[in-house]
A and B are shown apart, each in its own frame.
Chain A
Amino acid sequence: MESIRAVETSDPGSLPPIADDEAVLWQKAATGDLDAADALARCTYRAVYASLCRLCGGNEDLAADLTQETYRKAWRSIANFRGGSKFSTWLYRIAYNTFLNHIRGPRRLEPLTEEQVDQLLDPDETPDEATTRSAEAERLRRAILELPEELRFAVTARFWAELPVTEIARHQGLSPVGIRKRLKRAYKQLATTLEGDLQ
């Protein structure tokens, strides 16, 4: 995992060139090297699974299914990937879309409704487990999923996928400062929502 993470730069204006193991692998994979594709899956799937687990609120079976789905889509479009961001960032975007697709079908760019968020709860979870899981964490997750699209993507990419701000910026074609601003806006909105919930 560590080897595929970019180091965040202190200089917000410049983005370092992408040069890592992943880049070498995807380029090989995109020209049909199946071993490279194997390796690419090996070094990225944990992160994809982890981010999907968090998106799904701990529903691990669903997360595993969606992980597989994510890769199916990724192989299909790997030739279209131009290296505009790191491969893992691109992969997270696919995972994110796959997740939203799963819960809501095609209208994925609008904030989720509460029922849709409810659907995600693991049906097998016993009441005990549910209580154990912090109600607070669940509220936070819902609040995040109900954010407007641009903020939601930034927040989930930053925290649930643990992508560096530089990478999110590269993917969104914005400056890192722009992403930080988005994150800040998201914090504000989240603070308001959560406060409202408590009352």
Chain B
Amino acid sequence: MNNNELKKIEERLNPPPAPEPPEGLLESIQKEIPEHLRLVEEKSESILSPRRLRLIAASVAIVVLGGFLALQVSWQARPSLTLMNETPAALEVDALTGRVIAETEPVDRTSSVEIDGKASTPAASEKAKVEKQDEVGPRREDLSALSYLEGPQQDEQAAAYSEIEQKRSQSLSRLRDLPAQPQAQSGLFEMANTPNKDTDAKAGEDNRRRQVALEKQRMSGVAQREIREVPATEPELEGVRVTSESPLRVEAPVPPAMQSTAPPSTGGTHEPNDAPYGDMFFKSYGTNPFIDTEDDAQSTFGLDVDTGSYTLARSYIERGHLPPGEAIRVEEFVNYFDYGDPAPRQGEFTITAEGAPSPFASGPRYQLVRFGIKGREISNAERKPAMLIFVVDVSGSMRRENRLGLVKRSLELLLDQLQPEDQVGLVVYGNQGRVLLEPTSDKYAIGRAIEQLRSGGSTNAEEGLTLAYDLARTYRRRGGINRIILCSDGVANVGRTGPESILQRIRGGVDQGIELTTVGFGMGNYNDVLMEQLANQGDGNYAYIDTLDEARRIFVENLTGTLQTIASDAKIQVEFNPETVSRYRLLGYENRDIADHLFRDDTVDAGEIGAGHEVTALYEIKLHENVSKRDLLATLRLRYRSKETGKVIETAVDMTRRNISKRWENASPALRLSSVVAEFAEILKGSYWAKEGSLDMLEQRAAGVATDYRGDREVQNLVTLIGQTRRLTPVSMGYGEDE
């Protein structure tokens, strides 16, 4: 074919002029602009959030007087202004290939690579590192922030803000009359490819014994590696530590409902339409999209060992209702199950990385990848002595369905597990908080106090928690476990100042090593958001108890995991190799997202991991063509502070093509189980990615997997639960989420 012919084709490709857009098209488009354009406001507070607006307004006034406060506001507002200067794909090849960070390099050295988005050659980034080390001063970002403070720019900026503010308020008033757009879940990022489609009928037939499969798993080269402790340097640059006021700090998001100071009452979001139970409060955190590795090769999030979402959903289904989509957090479903990953013989964690062709996707190059992180196991006898404060909600709402009865029996189960040196105190709250029992090791006294619990009155959770934290501080046990266990339906309706002040009190306790477990009880009038957020802020865990069996699981079988934390602020960063992986999607962890560059900021609040806990992260990834066996696909980095030594530890494990099975049938039982659980969660959530998922097929696959987990009651129950769900949905589930 000669050039002339190609030229001809090229000419023919020039399109005819397009017709004029029809009248009114622009108006219809503009009408549909949602009022809250910025959807990730949970991640970092927008300049224009009401709270910040107030700040800005105040500072503008002060700037006019030549005040000092404006400096800080400009500082705060800076990131969104410099956004355009950041190169998103600041991926460093040397950072990728020069891996095994944990063992070779001090951690704070490499961190500058990410901070410096512009360093494009290894030499340049090396230089950046050196600079960074030498100056021991603010980060580059912060330096650039300083430049904003010079000269008249400051006033210009303040003026710009007030202008934006004004415009926005105008637009808001203009749009207020228009019908509100359903708030989209941020998951529908457009590069999205084929959502999951259950084409895997064969998995259901796979009845191989678990042993055999485990053997295969080993043969297919599942990467399993013990982690040795590698000390990392302490958080550097004390002076530049990002404070909690700075937008750079991405904390676990506090839902807007909690940020508002008024009204204090229920702390929820809204009541779902046609909800089977009144006043249930959930919050949707969206669904993670597929992300092109070219745009962002790093996926960073805080670990989460909560399981409340699964038990709560189960409770709904067993009562004959489908749980609302917002109640589903995929990672809490996945982490509910025990995948049998090996516990470390020494060190604190083992990481398992494996994969197989994705059962969800239709494309041939889609793989489902599982990272399993298993914490050191500690037996009940070996664990540290504990000082526990039970905080029991005895308000009127706890009388419903005999919630208080379940609380009592659950606590009695826990009591039986306690060691002689453990202490328990008891605080109750109804109208007011009251210390019922000062911490004591006298089991008889504790038992009697629990027995005497009676419900009645309204709810003053704030006072109850205040008393509990005071008590915990007074009786604090050095070197032991100091934990508050809150048993409630999560309604905090009489507190004077609302949930925000409760959260603040909790943060104060965290600094003194007091941890919090929230245990949810009840259906109807239940506040999932508050309970999850309390645990999140209180360096703790959240569970939902629907039956005595579940109480047994949490307070007996997994007691050391519930009580003793082995690692705090645990974060994961998975860095995909853009040369082998074209895109990825993290299943769940939507409200645990951490900005990539904060991975090595040890002041960021992340997940707490209890003894023996197993955390699983699932990714769906798409490979490029012709990836060879030895090619690196991803590097997983785990960073946490060891509870024992107080040191920050970072470790890394590589995943290559070799770790991925060729066929789904050869996937390990753990991978197949986790895929079933994740898909179940996504179907219930109404996730875009599960819109082709069918509960029929899922039930078959679950039954297939269950043969590998014969001894695991929870897995057997899962099959039943999926069956029940299927019967609740005679027609395929219709999803609210559109494409």
A contacts, CB < 8 Å to B: 18, 23, 27-38, 41-42, 45-46, 49-51, 53-54, 60, 64, 67-68, 71-80, 82-84, 90, 93-94, 97, 101, 106-109, 136-137, 140, 144, 155, 158-160, 162, 172-173, 183-184, 187-188, 190-192, 194
- A68 with B25, Cβ < 8 A, contacts A83-B84, A191-B5 known: yes
Is B65 interfacial (CB-CB < 8 Å)?
Answer: no
- A34, B171: Cβ atoms under 8 Å? yes
Q: Is chain B's interface secondary structure helix, strand, loop, or mixed overall?
A: loop
**A158, B80: Cα distance in complex, Å:** 32
Could you say which residues of chain B place their CB within 8 Å of the CB of A31? 37-38, 46-48, 80, 164
**A40, B39: Cα distance in complex, Å:** 18
Contact digits for B162-181, partner A, Cβ 8 Å, 1 yes 0 no: 00100110111011000001
Is B15 interfacial (CB-CB < 8 Å)?
Answer: yes
**A136, B15: Cα distance in complex, Å:** 12
Is B123 interfacial (CB-CB < 8 Å)?
Answer: no
| Shortest Cβ distance from A50 into B: residue | B18
Contact of A187 among B9, B22, B192, B289 (CB under 8 A): B9
Could you say which residues of chain B place their CB within 8 Å of the CB of A49? 18, 21, 25
- A137 with B164, Cβ < 8 A, contacts A94-B190, A184-B6 known: no
- B190, A73: Cβ atoms under 8 Å? yes
Could you say which residues of chain B place their CB within 8 Å of the CB of A67? 21, 25, 29
25 of the cross-chain contacts (CB-CB < 8 Å) are: A32-B36, A32-B38, A34-B37, A34-B175, A37-B37, A42-B26, A51-B18, A54-B18, A64-B21, A64-B22, A68-B28, A73-B188, A75-B184, A77-B188, A80-B39, A80-B40, A82-B295, A82-B296, A106-B194, A106-B195, A137-B16, A158-B13, A159-B13, A187-B6, A191-B1
Most chain A Cβ neighbours within 10 Å, of B84, B186, B691: B84
- A77, B167: Cβ atoms under 8 Å? no
**A33, B80: Cα distance in complex, Å:** 13
Is B35 interfacial (CB-CB < 8 Å)?
Answer: yes
Could you say which residues of chain B place their CB within 8 Å of the CB of A35? 167-168, 170-171
Could you say which residues of chain A place their CB within 8 Å of the CB of B295? 82, 84
Q: Which 8 A-B pairs have the closest CB atoms?
A: A50-B18, A34-B171, A76-B184, A173-B294, A82-B88, A94-B190, A49-B21, A79-B40
Is B193 interfacial (CB-CB < 8 Å)?
Answer: yes
Nearest-neighbour CB distance to chain B for A52, whole angstroms, equals: 9
Is B19 interfacial (CB-CB < 8 Å)?
Answer: yes
- A38, B30: Cβ atoms under 8 Å? yes
- B37, A108: Cβ atoms under 8 Å? no
Nearest-neighbour CB distance to chain A for B689, whole angstroms, equals: 10
Nearest-neighbour CB distance to chain A for B317, whole angstroms, equals: 27
- A188 with B6, Cβ < 8 A, contacts A101-B739, A109-B193 known: yes
- A68, B47: Cβ atoms under 8 Å? no
Nearest-neighbour CB distance to chain B for A155, whole angstroms, equals: 7
Could you say which residues of chain B place their CB within 8 Å of the CB of A18? 84
Could you say which residues of chain A place their CB within 8 Å of the CB of B18? 49-51, 53-54
- A160, B15: Cβ atoms under 8 Å? yes
In B68-117, which residues have CB < 8 Å from any A CB?
80, 83-84, 86, 88-89
Is B197 interfacial (CB-CB < 8 Å)?
Answer: yes
| Shortest Cβ distance from A95 into B: residue | B190
- B33, A41: Cβ atoms under 8 Å? yes
Could you say which residues of chain B place their CB within 8 Å of the CB of A30? 37-38
Nearest-neighbour CB distance to chain B for A148, whole angstroms, equals: 11
- B6, A38: Cβ atoms under 8 Å? no
Is B34 interfacial (CB-CB < 8 Å)?
Answer: yes
Could you say which residues of chain A place their CB within 8 Å of the CB of B171? 33-35, 38
Could you say which residues of chain A place their CB within 8 Å of the CB of B21? 45-46, 49, 64, 67
Is B12 interfacial (CB-CB < 8 Å)?
Answer: yes
- B192, A60: Cβ atoms under 8 Å? no
- A75, B186: Cβ atoms under 8 Å? no
| Shortest Cβ distance from B9 into A: residue | A187
Could you say which residues of chain A place their CB within 8 Å of the CB of B273? none
Contact of A33 among B168, B363, B578, B739 (CB under 8 A): B168
- A77, B190: Cβ atoms under 8 Å? yes
**A68, B189: Cα distance in complex, Å:** 16
Could you say which residues of chain A place their CB within 8 Å of the CB of B185? 76
Could you say which residues of chain A place their CB within 8 Å of the CB of B29? 41, 45, 67-68, 71
**A73, B175: Cα distance in complex, Å:** 19
Is B14 interfacial (CB-CB < 8 Å)?
Answer: yes
- A54, B36: Cβ atoms under 8 Å? no
Is B191 interfacial (CB-CB < 8 Å)?
Answer: yes
**A194, B164: Cα distance in complex, Å:** 54
**A72, B184: Cα distance in complex, Å:** 9
Could you say which residues of chain B place their CB within 8 Å of the CB of A54? 15, 18
Could you say which residues of chain A place their CB within 8 Å of the CB of B38? 30-32, 78-79
Could you say which residues of chain A place their CB within 8 Å of the CB of B150? none
Is B32 interfacial (CB-CB < 8 Å)?
Answer: yes
Is B692 interfacial (CB-CB < 8 Å)?
Answer: yes
20 other A-B residue contacts (CB within 8 Å) besides A32-B36, A34-B37, A50-B18: A31-B37, A31-B80, A33-B48, A35-B167, A42-B30, A45-B29, A53-B18, A67-B29, A72-B184, A76-B34, A77-B289, A78-B37, A80-B39, A84-B89, A106-B194, A109-B363, A159-B15, A172-B294, A187-B9, A190-B9
**A187, B188: Cα distance in complex, Å:** 33
- A97, B192: Cβ atoms under 8 Å? yes
| Shortest Cβ distance from A85 into B: residue | B295
Is B362 interfacial (CB-CB < 8 Å)?
Answer: yes
**A97, B362: Cα distance in complex, Å:** 17
- A97, B191: Cβ atoms under 8 Å? yes
| Shortest Cβ distance from B578 into A: residue | A173
Is B238 interfacial (CB-CB < 8 Å)?
Answer: no
Could you say which residues of chain A place their CB within 8 Å of the CB of B167? 33-36
- A32, B26: Cβ atoms under 8 Å? no
Contact of B83 among A83, A94, A97, A172 (CB under 8 A): A83
Could you say which residues of chain B place their CB within 8 Å of the CB of A64? 21-22, 25
Could you say which residues of chain A place their CB within 8 Å of the CB of B511? none
Could you say which residues of chain A place their CB within 8 Å of the CB of B33? 34, 37-38, 41, 71, 75
| Shortest Cβ distance from B40 into A: residue | A79
- A93, B26: Cβ atoms under 8 Å? no
- B88, A75: Cβ atoms under 8 Å? no
- B362, A107: Cβ atoms under 8 Å? yes
**A187, B29: Cα distance in complex, Å:** 35
Is B215 interfacial (CB-CB < 8 Å)?
Answer: no
Is B10 interfacial (CB-CB < 8 Å)?
Answer: yes
Could you say which residues of chain B place their CB within 8 Å of the CB of A187? 6, 9-10, 13
Contact digits for B182-215, partner A, Cβ 8 Å, 1 yes 0 no: 0011101111111101000000000000000000
